């Protein structure tokens, strides 16, 4: 079945450092890919998405490119802020699996001033 693998956290960075959170997936066909963010005490918020190969999703300075050849969707940000501290989840929606999302394990990001 479909699966998503993320790098384990926590990831601890200083403010203005570069961020990369790795995400790889296994799925048949051409899934849609998502990053969700969960701030402390809140629900999952959609951060960005990409629906086909080579698409780049972007939002709030975060970017991720759908790489079919490496089955990856790594999350990147050039300069993180303390307010980016949260848990980040990579997820996919398969072509043949209706609307259900399959999530990775989540990566906690801590940004220190």
Partner 1 sequence: EPEVTQTPSHQVTQMGQEVILRCVPISNHLYFYWYRQILGQKVEFLVSFYNNEISEKSEIFDDQFSVERPDGSNFTLKIRSTKLEDSAMYFCASSFYEQYFGPGTRLTVT
Interface contacts to partner 1, rule CB under 8 A: 34, 36, 41-46, 49, 89, 91, 97-106
**Cis status, amide bond into 10, omega within 30 of 0:** yes
Q: Are strands 32-38 and 44-50 parallel, antiparallel or unpaired?
A: antiparallel
Residue 18 Cβ vs partner 1, minimum distance, rounded to whole Å:
27
CB closer to partner 1, 70 vs 96: 96
CB closer to partner 1, 17 vs 63: 63
CB closer to partner 1, 43 vs 113: 43
Alpha-carbon distance 65 to 72, whole Å?
Answer: 8
According to DSSP, residue 16 is labeled T
């Amino acid at each position: 079945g479909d699966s998503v693998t993320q790098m384990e956290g926590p990831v601890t960075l200083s403010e203005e450092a570069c961020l990369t959170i790795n995400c790889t997936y296994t799925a048949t066909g051409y899934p849609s890919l998502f990053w969700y963010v969960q701030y402390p005490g809140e629900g999952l918020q959609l951060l960005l998405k990409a629906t086909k190969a080579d698409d780049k999703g972007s939002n709030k300075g975060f970017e991720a490119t759908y790489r079919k050849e490496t089955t990856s969707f790594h999350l990147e940000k050039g300069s993180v802020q303390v307010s980016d501290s949260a848990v980040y989840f990579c997820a996919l929606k398969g072509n043949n699996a209706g609307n259900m999302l399959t999530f990775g394990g989540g990566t906690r990001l801590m940004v220190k001033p």
